[in-house]
Amino acid sequence: MALTTVWFALIAVLWCGYFLLEGFDFGVGLLLPVLGRDERERRLLINTIGPVWDGNEVWLLVAGGATFAAFPEWYATLFSGFYLPLLLILVALILRGLAFEYRGKIDSPQWRRRWDAAIIGGSLVPSILWGVAFANIVRGVPLNAQHEYTGTLLTLLNPYALLGGLTTLSLFALHGAVFLALKTDGEIRHRAGALAWRLTAPAVALAAAFLLWTQLTHHDAWGWALSAAAAAALLAAVPAVRARREGWAFVATGATLVLAVAALFVTLFPDVMPTTLAGGASLTVTNASSSPYTLKVMTWVAACFTPVVLGYQSWSYWVFRRRLRVEHIPAAHQ
Protein backbone atom coordinates (compact mmCIF):
# COMPACT_ATOMS: atom_id res chain seq x y z
CA MET A 1 0.00 0.00 0.00
CA ALA A 2 1.36 3.44 -0.96
CA LEU A 3 2.40 5.67 1.93
CA THR A 4 0.03 8.36 0.66
CA THR A 5 -2.88 5.98 1.21
CA VAL A 6 -1.52 4.97 4.61
CA TRP A 7 -1.34 8.56 5.76
CA PHE A 8 -4.77 9.37 4.41
CA ALA A 9 -6.07 6.46 6.49
CA LEU A 10 -4.10 7.60 9.56
CA ILE A 11 -5.51 11.12 9.28
CA ALA A 12 -8.98 9.60 9.04
CA VAL A 13 -8.27 7.62 12.24
CA LEU A 14 -7.16 10.80 14.00
CA TRP A 15 -10.38 12.58 13.06
CA CYS A 16 -12.42 9.56 14.17
CA GLY A 17 -10.68 9.69 17.54
CA TYR A 18 -11.19 13.44 17.81
CA PHE A 19 -14.93 13.27 17.10
CA LEU A 20 -15.31 10.31 19.48
CA LEU A 21 -13.54 11.96 22.44
CA GLU A 22 -14.06 15.67 21.88
CA GLY A 23 -17.64 14.94 20.85
CA PHE A 24 -18.76 14.28 24.41
CA ASP A 25 -16.68 17.25 25.63
CA PHE A 26 -18.66 19.49 23.31
CA GLY A 27 -21.87 17.76 24.39
CA VAL A 28 -21.18 18.49 28.06
CA GLY A 29 -20.55 22.14 27.23
CA LEU A 30 -23.74 22.34 25.19
CA LEU A 31 -25.82 20.85 28.00
CA LEU A 32 -24.29 22.94 30.79
CA PRO A 33 -27.23 25.40 30.97
CA VAL A 34 -29.79 22.60 30.61
CA LEU A 35 -28.57 20.15 33.25
CA GLY A 36 -26.66 22.49 35.56
CA ARG A 37 -29.38 24.07 37.70
CA ASP A 38 -27.06 25.57 40.32
CA GLU A 39 -23.36 26.22 40.81
CA ARG A 40 -22.57 22.84 42.35
CA GLU A 41 -24.26 20.98 39.50
CA ARG A 42 -22.47 23.07 36.89
CA ARG A 43 -19.15 22.37 38.59
CA LEU A 44 -20.03 18.68 38.65
CA LEU A 45 -20.69 18.70 34.89
CA ILE A 46 -17.40 20.46 34.18
CA ASN A 47 -15.52 18.08 36.46
CA THR A 48 -16.68 15.08 34.44
CA ILE A 49 -14.43 16.22 31.58
CA GLY A 50 -11.95 18.28 33.61
CA PRO A 51 -9.16 15.67 33.67
CA VAL A 52 -9.46 14.68 29.99
CA TRP A 53 -10.67 17.54 27.80
CA ASP A 54 -7.22 18.94 27.01
CA GLY A 55 -5.90 15.45 26.22
CA ASN A 56 -8.81 14.94 23.84
CA GLU A 57 -7.80 18.06 21.91
CA VAL A 58 -4.41 16.49 21.22
CA TRP A 59 -6.14 14.45 18.53
CA LEU A 60 -7.02 17.67 16.70
CA LEU A 61 -3.48 19.03 16.99
CA VAL A 62 -1.99 15.81 15.68
CA ALA A 63 -4.53 15.62 12.85
CA GLY A 64 -3.67 19.17 11.78
CA GLY A 65 0.08 18.55 12.06
CA ALA A 66 -0.16 15.28 10.14
CA THR A 67 -2.13 16.97 7.37
CA PHE A 68 0.44 19.77 7.15
CA ALA A 69 3.35 17.33 6.93
CA ALA A 70 1.82 14.57 4.80
CA PHE A 71 -0.41 16.64 2.48
CA PRO A 72 0.85 20.25 2.48
CA GLU A 73 -1.15 21.18 -0.61
CA TRP A 74 -4.35 19.99 1.05
CA TYR A 75 -3.49 21.89 4.24
CA ALA A 76 -2.73 25.12 2.35
CA THR A 77 -5.91 25.03 0.28
CA LEU A 78 -8.06 24.02 3.24
CA PHE A 79 -6.81 26.75 5.56
CA SER A 80 -6.99 29.45 2.90
CA GLY A 81 -10.43 28.54 1.55
CA PHE A 82 -11.95 27.76 4.96
CA TYR A 83 -10.10 30.53 6.75
CA LEU A 84 -13.02 32.23 8.52
CA PRO A 85 -14.81 29.05 9.74
CA LEU A 86 -11.54 27.56 10.99
CA LEU A 87 -10.62 30.85 12.67
CA LEU A 88 -13.98 30.87 14.45
CA ILE A 89 -13.40 27.29 15.59
CA LEU A 90 -9.93 28.20 16.89
CA VAL A 91 -11.21 31.24 18.79
CA ALA A 92 -14.05 29.17 20.27
CA LEU A 93 -11.66 26.44 21.42
CA ILE A 94 -9.33 29.01 23.00
CA LEU A 95 -12.19 30.69 24.87
CA ARG A 96 -13.51 27.33 26.06
CA GLY A 97 -10.07 26.33 27.35
CA LEU A 98 -9.68 29.66 29.15
CA ALA A 99 -13.13 29.22 30.70
CA PHE A 100 -12.23 25.83 32.17
CA GLU A 101 -9.13 27.33 33.76
CA TYR A 102 -10.45 30.71 34.90
CA ARG A 103 -14.13 30.30 35.91
CA GLY A 104 -13.11 29.36 39.46
CA LYS A 105 -10.41 31.97 39.94
CA ILE A 106 -12.76 34.62 41.37
CA ASP A 107 -15.56 33.82 43.79
CA SER A 108 -18.24 35.79 41.97
CA PRO A 109 -21.50 34.51 40.39
CA GLN A 110 -21.26 37.11 37.62
CA TRP A 111 -17.67 36.07 36.85
CA ARG A 112 -18.66 32.42 36.65
CA ARG A 113 -21.71 33.15 34.45
CA ARG A 114 -19.50 34.91 31.90
CA TRP A 115 -17.11 31.98 31.70
CA ASP A 116 -20.03 29.55 31.54
CA ALA A 117 -21.22 31.46 28.48
CA ALA A 118 -17.74 30.99 26.98
CA ILE A 119 -17.95 27.24 27.61
CA ILE A 120 -21.37 27.05 25.97
CA GLY A 121 -20.37 29.18 22.97
CA GLY A 122 -16.99 27.45 22.73
CA SER A 123 -18.83 24.14 22.44
CA LEU A 124 -21.64 25.30 20.16
CA VAL A 125 -19.54 26.95 17.45
CA PRO A 126 -17.19 23.98 16.78
CA SER A 127 -20.09 21.51 17.04
CA ILE A 128 -21.76 23.19 14.06
CA LEU A 129 -18.76 24.35 12.04
CA TRP A 130 -16.92 21.01 12.06
CA GLY A 131 -19.96 19.47 10.38
CA VAL A 132 -20.14 22.33 7.89
CA ALA A 133 -16.44 22.01 7.07
CA PHE A 134 -16.42 18.25 6.57
CA ALA A 135 -19.61 18.34 4.53
CA ASN A 136 -18.03 20.88 2.16
CA ILE A 137 -14.84 18.82 1.87
CA VAL A 138 -16.83 15.75 0.82
CA ARG A 139 -19.23 17.69 -1.40
CA GLY A 140 -16.45 19.59 -3.13
CA VAL A 141 -15.57 23.27 -3.36
CA PRO A 142 -14.67 25.55 -6.28
CA LEU A 143 -10.94 24.96 -6.90
CA ASN A 144 -9.30 26.30 -10.05
CA ALA A 145 -6.55 24.57 -12.01
CA GLN A 146 -3.95 25.90 -9.54
CA HIS A 147 -5.85 24.32 -6.61
CA GLU A 148 -6.88 27.74 -5.30
CA TYR A 149 -10.26 28.24 -3.64
CA THR A 150 -12.36 30.69 -5.68
CA GLY A 151 -15.57 30.73 -3.64
CA THR A 152 -16.79 32.90 -0.77
CA LEU A 153 -18.09 32.27 2.73
CA LEU A 154 -21.61 31.93 1.35
CA THR A 155 -20.37 29.13 -0.91
CA LEU A 156 -19.67 27.08 2.21
CA LEU A 157 -23.12 27.75 3.69
CA ASN A 158 -25.01 25.53 1.26
CA PRO A 159 -27.94 23.32 2.35
CA TYR A 160 -25.89 20.12 2.43
CA ALA A 161 -23.19 21.69 4.62
CA LEU A 162 -25.74 23.25 6.98
CA LEU A 163 -27.37 19.84 7.36
CA GLY A 164 -23.93 18.47 8.20
CA GLY A 165 -23.54 21.13 10.89
CA LEU A 166 -26.90 20.30 12.44
CA THR A 167 -26.02 16.61 12.33
CA THR A 168 -22.77 17.00 14.26
CA LEU A 169 -24.51 19.33 16.72
CA SER A 170 -27.24 16.77 17.46
CA LEU A 171 -24.84 13.83 17.67
CA PHE A 172 -22.46 15.66 20.01
CA ALA A 173 -25.36 16.70 22.25
CA LEU A 174 -26.61 13.10 22.41
CA HIS A 175 -23.10 11.75 22.95
CA GLY A 176 -22.55 14.26 25.75
CA ALA A 177 -25.85 13.45 27.47
CA VAL A 178 -25.06 9.73 27.39
CA PHE A 179 -21.56 10.43 28.74
CA LEU A 180 -22.98 12.46 31.63
CA ALA A 181 -25.43 9.67 32.46
CA LEU A 182 -22.48 7.27 32.46
CA LYS A 183 -20.11 9.49 34.47
CA THR A 184 -22.45 10.85 37.17
CA ASP A 185 -24.77 9.45 39.80
CA GLY A 186 -27.85 10.65 41.57
CA GLU A 187 -30.29 13.24 40.24
CA ILE A 188 -27.94 14.48 37.51
CA ARG A 189 -27.61 10.95 36.14
CA HIS A 190 -31.39 10.57 35.88
CA ARG A 191 -31.86 13.96 34.24
CA ALA A 192 -29.04 13.31 31.76
CA GLY A 193 -30.57 9.93 30.84
CA ALA A 194 -33.99 11.51 30.31
CA LEU A 195 -32.49 14.27 28.17
CA ALA A 196 -30.53 11.72 26.13
CA TRP A 197 -33.80 9.94 25.35
CA ARG A 198 -35.35 13.18 24.09
CA LEU A 199 -32.28 13.84 21.91
CA THR A 200 -32.40 10.47 20.13
CA ALA A 201 -35.19 11.43 17.71
CA PRO A 202 -33.57 14.57 16.21
CA ALA A 203 -30.15 12.88 16.14
CA VAL A 204 -31.48 9.86 14.24
CA ALA A 205 -33.45 12.00 11.79
CA LEU A 206 -30.62 14.42 11.00
CA ALA A 207 -27.90 11.76 10.79
CA ALA A 208 -30.02 9.55 8.53
CA ALA A 209 -30.80 12.46 6.20
CA PHE A 210 -27.16 13.57 6.01
CA LEU A 211 -25.66 10.11 5.42
CA LEU A 212 -28.35 9.25 2.87
CA TRP A 213 -27.80 12.51 0.98
CA THR A 214 -24.05 11.87 1.00
CA GLN A 215 -24.23 8.37 -0.40
CA LEU A 216 -26.97 9.14 -2.96
CA THR A 217 -24.66 11.83 -4.32
CA HIS A 218 -21.44 9.78 -4.43
CA HIS A 219 -22.61 6.14 -4.87
CA ASP A 220 -19.60 4.64 -3.07
CA ALA A 221 -20.02 0.98 -2.07
CA TRP A 222 -17.79 1.16 1.00
CA GLY A 223 -19.35 4.48 1.91
CA TRP A 224 -22.79 2.88 1.77
CA ALA A 225 -21.59 0.02 4.01
CA LEU A 226 -20.06 2.31 6.63
CA SER A 227 -23.05 4.66 6.54
CA ALA A 228 -25.36 1.70 7.09
CA ALA A 229 -23.17 0.57 10.00
CA ALA A 230 -23.28 4.08 11.49
CA ALA A 231 -27.06 4.14 11.16
CA ALA A 232 -27.31 0.72 12.81
CA ALA A 233 -25.10 1.87 15.70
CA LEU A 234 -27.24 4.96 16.22
CA LEU A 235 -30.44 2.93 16.14
CA ALA A 236 -28.89 0.52 18.66
CA ALA A 237 -28.28 3.47 20.96
CA VAL A 238 -32.02 4.23 21.14
CA PRO A 239 -33.14 1.16 23.17
CA ALA A 240 -29.96 1.37 25.27
CA VAL A 241 -30.75 4.97 26.17
CA ARG A 242 -34.38 4.05 26.84
CA ALA A 243 -33.33 1.23 29.17
CA ARG A 244 -30.77 3.51 30.89
CA ARG A 245 -27.91 1.17 30.00
CA GLU A 246 -25.41 3.99 29.84
CA GLY A 247 -22.35 1.90 29.00
CA TRP A 248 -23.87 0.29 25.92
CA ALA A 249 -25.46 3.59 24.90
CA PHE A 250 -22.08 5.33 25.06
CA VAL A 251 -20.47 2.57 22.98
CA ALA A 252 -23.27 2.93 20.41
CA THR A 253 -23.09 6.73 20.11
CA GLY A 254 -19.29 6.57 19.99
CA ALA A 255 -19.42 3.93 17.25
CA THR A 256 -21.89 6.13 15.34
CA LEU A 257 -19.44 9.04 15.28
CA VAL A 258 -16.46 6.87 14.34
CA LEU A 259 -18.31 5.06 11.55
CA ALA A 260 -19.86 8.27 10.20
CA VAL A 261 -16.47 9.99 9.96
CA ALA A 262 -14.96 6.85 8.40
CA ALA A 263 -17.78 6.82 5.84
CA LEU A 264 -17.00 10.42 4.86
CA PHE A 265 -13.29 9.70 4.40
CA VAL A 266 -13.94 6.51 2.43
CA THR A 267 -16.39 8.38 0.22
CA LEU A 268 -13.84 11.16 -0.30
CA PHE A 269 -10.91 8.86 -1.27
CA PRO A 270 -8.79 9.15 -3.46
CA ASP A 271 -9.60 12.87 -3.42
CA VAL A 272 -8.74 14.96 -0.41
CA MET A 273 -10.61 18.00 -1.73
CA PRO A 274 -12.65 17.61 -4.91
CA THR A 275 -13.43 20.57 -7.12
CA THR A 276 -16.86 21.62 -8.33
CA LEU A 277 -15.52 23.71 -11.22
CA ALA A 278 -15.64 22.28 -14.74
CA GLY A 279 -12.15 23.56 -15.52
CA GLY A 280 -10.75 23.07 -12.05
CA ALA A 281 -8.47 20.41 -10.61
CA SER A 282 -9.21 18.28 -7.57
CA LEU A 283 -6.66 17.65 -4.86
CA THR A 284 -5.91 13.95 -4.46
CA VAL A 285 -3.73 11.85 -2.18
CA THR A 286 -1.16 11.87 -5.01
CA ASN A 287 -0.90 15.50 -6.11
CA ALA A 288 -1.32 16.91 -2.59
CA SER A 289 1.22 14.73 -0.78
CA SER A 290 4.74 15.32 0.48
CA SER A 291 7.79 13.49 -0.85
CA PRO A 292 8.13 9.72 -0.23
CA TYR A 293 11.08 10.34 2.08
CA THR A 294 9.03 12.71 4.25
CA LEU A 295 6.20 10.20 4.50
CA LYS A 296 8.66 7.43 5.39
CA VAL A 297 10.19 9.47 8.23
CA MET A 298 6.72 10.39 9.49
CA THR A 299 5.72 6.72 9.49
CA TRP A 300 8.65 5.77 11.74
CA VAL A 301 7.92 8.65 14.12
CA ALA A 302 4.24 7.70 14.31
CA ALA A 303 5.09 4.04 14.93
CA CYS A 304 7.31 5.02 17.88
CA PHE A 305 5.18 7.63 19.62
CA THR A 306 1.55 6.64 18.91
CA PRO A 307 1.55 3.71 21.39
CA VAL A 308 2.93 6.02 24.10
CA VAL A 309 0.17 8.58 23.55
CA LEU A 310 -2.56 5.92 23.44
CA GLY A 311 -1.20 4.27 26.56
CA TYR A 312 -1.06 7.50 28.53
CA GLN A 313 -4.54 8.59 27.50
CA SER A 314 -6.00 5.16 28.30
CA TRP A 315 -4.35 5.31 31.71
CA SER A 316 -5.83 8.75 32.43
CA TYR A 317 -9.34 7.52 31.61
CA TRP A 318 -8.83 4.52 33.86
CA VAL A 319 -7.68 6.66 36.78
CA PHE A 320 -10.69 9.00 36.49
CA ARG A 321 -13.25 6.30 35.73
CA ARG A 322 -15.47 6.64 38.83
CA ARG A 323 -18.89 8.28 38.81
CA LEU A 324 -19.28 11.73 40.35
CA ARG A 325 -22.07 13.00 42.58
CA VAL A 326 -23.08 16.49 43.64
CA GLU A 327 -22.04 15.53 47.18
CA HIS A 328 -18.43 15.32 45.93
CA ILE A 329 -18.48 19.03 45.07
CA PRO A 330 -17.93 21.42 47.99
CA ALA A 331 -20.44 24.21 48.32
CA ALA A 332 -19.45 27.60 46.89
CA HIS A 333 -20.49 31.08 47.95
CA GLN A 334 -23.34 32.40 45.82
Q: What is the spatial distance between Cα 312 and Cα 176, in angstroms, rounded to a whole number?
A: 23
32 within a domain of the structure (yes/no): yes
227 within a domain of the structure (yes/no): no
Reported as a single tens digit per residue, the pLDDT across 136-186 is 999 999 999 888 898 888 899 999 999 999 999 999 999 999 999 999 999
142 within a domain of the structure (yes/no): yes
Reported as a single tens digit per residue, the pLDDT across 205-222 is 999 999 999 988 888 899
Residues 6+ apart with CB under 8 A from 35: 41, 45, 180, 188, 191, 192, 195
- The DSSP output letter for 330 is P
In three state form, how does the secondary structure of the chain look? CCHHHHHHHHHHHHHHHHHHHHHHHHHHHHHHHHHCCCHHHHHHHHHHHCCCHHHHCHHHHHHHHHHHHHCHHHHHHHHHHCHHHHHHHHHHHHHHHHHHHHCCCCCCHHHHHHHHHHHHHHHHHHHHHHHHHHHHHHHCECECCCCCECCCHHHHCCHHHHHHHHHHHHHHHHHHHHHHHHHECCHHHHHHHHHHHHHHHHHHHHHHHHHHHHHHHHCCHHHHHHHHHHHHHHHHHHHHHHCCCHHHHHHHHHHHHHHHHHHHHHHHCCEEECECCCCCCCEECCCCCCCHHHHHHHHHHHHHHHHHHHHHHHHHHHHCCCCECHHHCCCCCC
Reported as a single tens digit per residue, the pLDDT across 16-50 is 999 999 999 999 999 999 999 889 999 999 999 99
273 strand-pairing partners: 283
Reported as a single tens digit per residue, the pLDDT across 215-253 is 888 888 999 999 999 999 999 999 999 999 999 999 999
pLDDT at 191 over 90: yes
Rounded to an integer, the average pLDDT of 83-100 is 95
Rounded to an integer, the average pLDDT of 262-288 is 92
Rounded to an integer, the average pLDDT of 315-328 is 90
pLDDT band at 280 (very low <50, low <70, confident <90, very high): confident
Averaged confidence pLDDT in the chain: 93
Residue 174 is which amino acid?
L
Packing angle between helix 159-183 and helix 246-268, nearest 10 degrees? 150
Instruction: Give how far the C-alpha of residue 294 lies from the chain's centroid of Cα atoms, to the nearest Å.
Output: 28
Provide the number of structural domains found in the chain.
1
Rounded to an integer, the average pLDDT of 79-85 is 91
248 within a domain of the structure (yes/no): no
Q: Where are the beta strands (DSSP E) in the chain?
A: 271-273, 283-284
Say what the pLDDT of residue 187 is.
92
CB distance 165 to 128 below 8 Å: yes
Q: What is the pTM of this model?
A: 0.95
Domain range enclosing 176: 3-210+267-326
Q: What is the spatial distance between Cα 143 and Cα 277, in angstroms, rounded to a whole number?
A: 6
168 within a domain of the structure (yes/no): yes
End-to-end CA separation in angstroms for the chain? 61
236 within a domain of the structure (yes/no): no
CB distance 230 to 211 below 8 Å: yes
Say what the pLDDT of residue 48 is.
94
∠ CA 157-158-160, nearest 5°, is 120
Rounded to an integer, the average pLDDT of 290-317 is 91
Say what the pLDDT of residue 1 is.
57
221 within a domain of the structure (yes/no): no
125 within a domain of the structure (yes/no): yes
